[in-house]
Amino acid sequence: MPLPARLERAAQKKERIVVGLISGTSVDAVEAVVCGISGTADTTELELLSHVSVPFPPAVVKRVLELTTVRELCALNFELGERFGRAALKAVKVAGLQPEDVDLVGSHGQTVAHLPGSTLQIGEASVIAELIGAPVVCDFRTRDVAAGGQGAPLVPYADWVLFRRAGTTRALQNIGGIANVSVVGDRLEDTIAFDTGPGNMLLDAIARLTTRNRKSFDENAELAFRGEVMPKVLAELLKHPFLKQRPPRSAGRDQFGEALSQSLWKRFKKRPHDLLATLSAFTIEATVRAYEKFVLPERQLEAVYLSGGGSRNPFLTTGLERRLAPIPVRPLDALGFPEGAKEAACFALLASEWLSGTAQNVPAATGARARVILGKLVP
């Protein structure tokens, strides 16, 4: 089936203007970027033109986290589509462009379920397309799942395209709601990538409970630093069955979400600061043990580069620096790219590659049977 005329023209352009959109598992904000993208695969060049972060109101966060009915799912799908579209328009304005300058939008949406053999992201792409007046590529994860993969992680392709350096092996460690790593070198097929385990999801949940929703996260780890790690509880957490799985592996709320946070809160709500310190140590130790099992025996790392909300948490960063020494641990910004924009830029890139007809999954990371083109088009 031929592409619509507008997309045919975009496909032929030397540089495309592409908007990338995502809200992560932490459900805190829509991240929106505008990128100029040329080339494909190892010839790709990406220039970040703007990045905006548009927070969700606490009531919306609560509705996403407590979603239980099909009726609410239906309503949220369209409401989040509107919020994503408005964020896209804001990013376009910040870039000094007009909506008609946009060739394509890549929207990851908001994950509401990620299960073995299925995944669901919402944020209706048709609403985004109506608001910005440009075609939208969405639902990137589902084709990988259909091809036998886990639909995650999808960031490794962008990590390889954007951050590899000839003759060097480096780790890109994202600490979002769930933490994941991409280990990239010269060849895409040699990439190691998987979810290392918990990230901010448990920390954010306990911070909300501790502050009675006055804070959505533990800013600068102020609450965690007031506490002390509970060794027996940490040892118990580190027995979590997910941490015993070999890659390919991906995690979500079923492993490290509301059920676990509520269970821990019932047991330790009189020690909230100790619980936050312990859960911070859990993220650190789970990450480091994943490296020790699955990365360091096979790769010698130049450095580990941190992104995601956890990269701004000093409890986590100092802990990782201490445990991973002598491997340097640095912010992603050290590579000249703002870490807050990274995931949204990934989905701008994946959308551009959809238009180029270039497969964007990494089977070694997701477990898919083959490389496939990810995404669905809303023209």
77 with 123: CB under 8 angstroms? yes
* CA 131 – CA 154 distance, rounded (Å): 26
At 143 the pLDDT is: 98
For residues 113 and 19, membership in a common domain is answered with: yes
For residues 230 and 350, membership in a common domain is answered with: no
Band of pLDDT at residue 6, cut at 50, 70 and 90: confident
User: Residue range 344-373: average pLDDT?
Assistant: 97
Token pair recorded at residue 218: 């533990």
- Sign of the dihedral defined by the CA atoms of residues 40, 46, 50, 53, in that order: positive
Task: Please tell me the least confidently modeled range out of 228-232, 251-255, 300-304.
Answer: 251-255
Q: Is the pLDDT of residue 38 over 90?
A: yes
What percentage of the chain reaches a pLDDT higher than 70? 100
For residues 9 and 78, membership in a common domain is answered with: yes
For residues 199 and 63, membership in a common domain is answered with: no
As a whole number of angstroms, the longest Cα–Cα distance in the chain is: 62
Estimate to the nearest angstrom the gap between the alpha carbon of 344 and the chain centroid: 8
At 1 the pLDDT is: 60
Q: Residue 206's domain is classified under what CATH number?
A: 3.30.420.40
For residues 196 and 135, membership in a common domain is answered with: no
- Is 336 inside a domain boundary? no
User: Residue range 115-130: average pLDDT?
Assistant: 96
Token pair recorded at residue 292: 């020790």
For residues 98 and 187, membership in a common domain is answered with: no
* CA 98 – CA 115 distance, rounded (Å): 39
Task: Please tell me the least confidently modeled range out of 92-96, 113-117, 206-210.
Answer: 113-117
User: Residue range 145-152: average pLDDT?
Assistant: 96
Query: 208 is in which domain, residue-wise?
Result: 155-327
Domains: count for the chain? 2
For residues 271 and 348, membership in a common domain is answered with: no
* CA 120 – CA 92 distance, rounded (Å): 27
* CA 131 – CA 125 distance, rounded (Å): 10
User: Residue range 284-312: average pLDDT?
Assistant: 97
pTM (whole model) above 0.85: yes
- Is 302 inside a domain boundary? yes
For residues 268 and 370, membership in a common domain is answered with: no
- Rounded mean pLDDT of the chain? 96
Band of pLDDT at residue 96, cut at 50, 70 and 90: very high
Band of pLDDT at residue 147, cut at 50, 70 and 90: very high
